[in-house]
Structure 1
C-alpha cells in the first residue's frame, strides 16, 4: 500500500501540469503501455485507471470507506426498527399484527422504489449528490417517525425512510467501486457488507434491547417518560445519520463519474483530493492528471442497455444469483426460530440459538473480504454457493442435538454470506460507469423481490411437509447461484475501465 502527499508522483506515461490560472492545452498523451491507440474518450478512461491505481489507498480512501460503512450499518439497524417498536405500538396505540405487517411493507415497498430511483438519479446527477440526498431523506423520515402523533403519520414516515434506505446501499456500493484502486476495490466493497448485513442485523436487536428494554422504562418525564421509549429508537438512529451527513460535505465526487460527464477539470480536482490523503486539504494544488487537451463528450446513459447484449447477460446472471441467494437467506432469517421450536426447544432457547447461528454472517463476510482481494470472482462465488447448498441439505439429517444445530446453522450463514459478499463485489464490476448505479439498483431490487416472495412459499412447505422441505428449497436456491455464475465474466484484478470499452 502506497501513500502520497498532496503532489504524488504521476503514473508512467502521464505528465501532470499544476493549475496556475489557466491550464495549457496540449496533445493528449498516449495510453498506458499495452493499449492500442484509441480516441480521446477511451484514452482518458485508461489514463484515469492508471492514475487511480498509482495513487493506491491512503487515509482519504479509508475515511470515505468508514463513512459509507457507518451509514450502511445504521441503515440496516433502521430496517429492523418495526420489529423492535411493534409491541409498544400494539400496547399504546392498539395497532394490530396486520397493522405492524403493513408498516413493515410500507418500509420495504418504498425501498424498492428508492433503490431504482437512486440508481437512475445517481447516473444523472452524481454519486456524491445522491449519497447525501439519501441520508438527508432517511434522517427526515426518522424524525417524522419519532414525532408521529398517530399511526397514519408513522406510516408516512416509514415510506420516507424506505426511500432513503433503498438508495443508500446502491449508491454507496457504486461510490466505493469507483473511488478505489483495482487492488483495494474488492476489500472496500466487502467491508461494506461486513458493516451492513454482517454487523448491522445482530446490532439492531442489541440496540433495541438497550433502548426500549433497559433505558426506556426509566426515561424521565422531560424526555417523554417510559411511554416514549420507542420514539427514542428513531431519534437516536437519526443522530448518526446527521453526523455522517456533516462529514460527507467534503467527500469528493468519483473521478470516474466526472470523466463520464466530460468534466475534466473537476476530475483532476477530485483526483488531487484523493492523492492528498485528506478529504478537505488546505492549500490543495490541483494537478492535471488528465490534460485539458483531451476532447471528451458526455456519455449518455441508456437505461435499456442493461437488458441487451453483454450487459443483458450480466444482468441475467446477477439477477438470478441475487434473487435466489437473498431469497434463501430471508427464508432462514424468518424461520430459524420456528424450525428450532419444532425440534422441541423453548422459544427463549431458540432465539438464543438463532443469535449464535447469525454470528456466521459476520465471520462469513470477513472471510469473503480476505478472499475477494486474492481470488477470482467466479470460483469464489461458486465454492461458497456449493457449500451453502451442502450445509442446508445436511441440516435436516445431521442436526441432532444442540451442538450439531449450532455448527450446521453457523456454517450455512457463514457460506451464504461469503457468497453474498462476493456477489456484491462482482456486481459493480459488470456495468460501465454510465449505467453502473442504475444496474446495481435493479439487481438490488431483484434480490429484495426474492426475499419477499420465497418466505411465504417456505412457510407453506414448513407447515405441510416439515423443515426438510423448507431446507431443500433453500438448497435449490443456492444451487441456482452455482449454475448461473459460470455464465458471467471474470473480473478479478482488472480495472473498471479495462472491463468496459465504453465507446
Structure 2
C-alpha cells in the first residue's frame, strides 16, 4: 500500500518515516474495509449538492449569452471572449486549488471555493459594464475551478474501491442536473426579468458552505499522509463509530493485513512527472485539453447557435434544456459501465459517440434531426464527464492527488478557454458545420490519447494504483 506525504511534512528521521508509513497504510486499510452505509452516502450527498449549485452557475451562460450579447451589443468574437473569462478563472482556480488542498486540507479549500463562486455570481448580476462582467466571470470561474478537483479528491478518498468509480460518476451527474436546473431558472426569470437576476439568484446557495463546514470531516487519508497521526486517528475513529451506528452497532470487518511500501521521494509537481506518473500525466493533460475544448466550445454556444437558426430566446432555452435531459441517462449509464467495463472503455466509447453525434448535429436540416442529434451528443458528453472525473483522481497518490487532479483540470480549462473564443471566430467564416467539425475532431483526438496511453483502474484501491 502506498505511503504518502505532503511537501513540508517529510519526517526528519527514519523512525518518523516508518511510523508515518505504517499510519498511512493502516488508515487506508480501515477505510477500505468499511461497508458503504448511509453515513458515507450522506457525506457524498452534501458534496454533490455543492457541486450541483456550482454547476448551475457554470451552465447559466449557455442560456443567457444571447441576451447578454443584445444588452451590451457584442459581436460574435467579443461574446466568445466573454464566454472564455469564466474558463480563465477556472484555469487559475484548478491549478491553485490542487496545491492548496494537498497542503492545507480538502475541506478548507472546498469551503473557500464556495465563497468565491457565490460572490462571483452575485457580482455578475450587478455588473454595469461588460468589462466588470468579464472580471466577475473570472472570479466566478476561479471558485468553480477550485471546487471541482477538490470534490473529486474528497469523494475518491471516502468511498471504498468497489464503489468509488460509480460514486464519482454520480457526482459528475449533478452537473447535467445543475445545468438543467439553471436552464429552468433562466426560462422562468427571463420571462419576467432580465439576465442579471439569474446570476444574483444563483449566488445565494453559496451559504450551503455552512453545512459543509459542520458535517464534512477532513479526509483521514490526507491527514495521515500529511503526518498528522493524532488527528487522522480521531477522524477515522469518528467515521468508524458512525458507520457502526448505521449498522445497528454491529462489529466492523477486520482490516486487511498492512502492506507498507517505501515513501515516494518526489514531492508536489515533481511527482507528476516522475517515472511512475509521467505517462499518466501526459495522457490526462491531453485528454482534458481536447475533451473540454470540444465540450465547452459547443455547449457555451448551444443556445446562441439555436438562435442563429431562427429560434427566439425563450424557445432556444427550451430546446437547450430538452437536449440536455439526455445527460441524465448519460451519466447513469456511465456510472454502470465504468464499474462493469472499466474507465478506459467507457471514456473511449463516449468520446467517439460524442464525435459522431457532433457531425450529425452540425449537418441537421430540420428540427427533428437537430433534437435527435443533440440528445445523442449530450448523452455521450455527460457520460464522458462522469468517466473523466472518476478516472483522474485515481491515477495519483494521496499526497499529490488534488494537485494532479487540479492541474489536469487546469489544462482542460485552457481548452475551455480556447474553445468558445475559437468558435466565435470560426462561426462567421465556416458556419455551424465548421463549428461542429471542430468539436468532433477534438473528441476523436481525446479518444485516441486514452486508447494509446491510458491504463485501467477498475476495482483497484487507490494505494495499489499508485504503484
CA contact (8 A) 2:183 2:317 kept: no
For residues 319-355 of structure 1, what are the alpha-carbon distances to aligned partners after superposition, in whole Å with 9 as ceiling and x for unaligned?
A: 1111111111223224445665676767765554333
Q: How much has 1:55 moved relative to structure 2?
A: 1.0
Deviation, structure 1 residue 414: 0.9
Structure 2 residue 358 is the aligned partner of structure 1 residue 388? no
1:162 is matched with which residue?
Answer: 141
Q: Taking CA–CA contacts closer than 8 Å with sequence separation of 6 or more, which of the two structures ends up with the larger relative contact order? A: 2
> 170, 178, 182: which is aligned to 1:204?
182
Quote the residue 2:11 is aligned against: none
**C-alpha contact (below 8 Å) 1:41/1:297 kept by paired residues:** no
Conserved? CA contact 1:392–1:412, under 8 Å: yes
Gap change, CA 1:156 and 1:413, over 3 Å in 2: closer
What is the CA-CA distance between 1:302 and the residue it aligns to? Answer: 2.5
Q: What is residue 363 of structure 1 aligned with on the other side? A: 329
Alpha-carbon distance between aligned partners in 1 of 2:48 and 2:316, rounded to the nearest angstrom:
30
> Aligned partners of 2:158 and 2:350: how far apart in 1?
27
Unaligned ranges ≥5, structure 1: 1-26, 28-37, 217-228
Q: What is the aligned counterpart of 2:91 among 112, 117, 122?
A: 112
Alpha-carbon shift at residue 276 of structure 1 (Å): 2.9
Larger Cα-atom Rg: 1
Partner of 2:227: 262
Pairing partner for 2:456 from 467, 481, 490: 490
CA distance in 2, matches of 1:55, 1:78: 35
Between the aligned partners of 1:209 and 1:57, the Cα distance in structure 2 is 39
Deviations 1:60-104 (A, max 9, x none): 21121111111111112223456777788889xx75537877765
- The structure-2 alpha-carbon separation of the partners of 1:90 and 1:420, relative to structure 1 and needing over 3 Å to count, comes to closer
> By how many angstroms is 1:404 displaced?
2.9
Is residue 2:296 matched to residue 1:330? yes
Change (3 A) 1:153 1:270: same
Between the aligned partners of 1:105 and 1:339, the Cα distance in structure 2 is 16
- Say if 2:102 and 2:399, in contact at 8 Å, map to a contact too: yes
Counterpart pick for 1:413 among 378, 385, 390: 378
Aligned-pair CA distance for 1:175: 0.8
Matched, 1:377 2:355: no
Q: 1:448 aligns with which of 413, 425, 434?
A: 413
Counting matched residue pairs gives: 442
Residue 474 (structure 1) aligned to one of 433, 439, 443: 439
1:69 to 48, 53, 69: 48
Does the aligned pair in 2 maintain the 1:67–1:248 contact within 8 Å?
no
Structure 2: runs of 5 or more not aligned: 1-14
Q: 1:136 to 1:467 in 2, by over 3 A?
A: closer
TM-score, L = length of structure 1: 0.76
Between 106-115 and 434-443, report the one with greater CA deviation. 106-115
After TM superposition, give the deviation of residue 455 of structure 1 in Å.
3.8
Matches within 5 A, 1:96-111: 96-97=73-74, 104-111=83-90
Q: Is the contact between residue 157 and residue 221 of structure 2 (CA under 8 Å) also seen in structure 1?
A: yes
Q: After superposition, where does 1:1-150 map in structure 2 within 5 Å?
A: 41-81=20-60, 95-97=72-74, 104-142=83-121
Secondary structure of 1:210's aligned partner:
helix
Instruction: Give me the whole-angstrom Cα distance separating, in 2, the residues matched to 1:295 and 1:414.
Output: 42
Partner Cα distance (2:338, 2:240) in 1: 24
Please state whether the residue corresponding to 2:354 is helix, strand or coil. helix
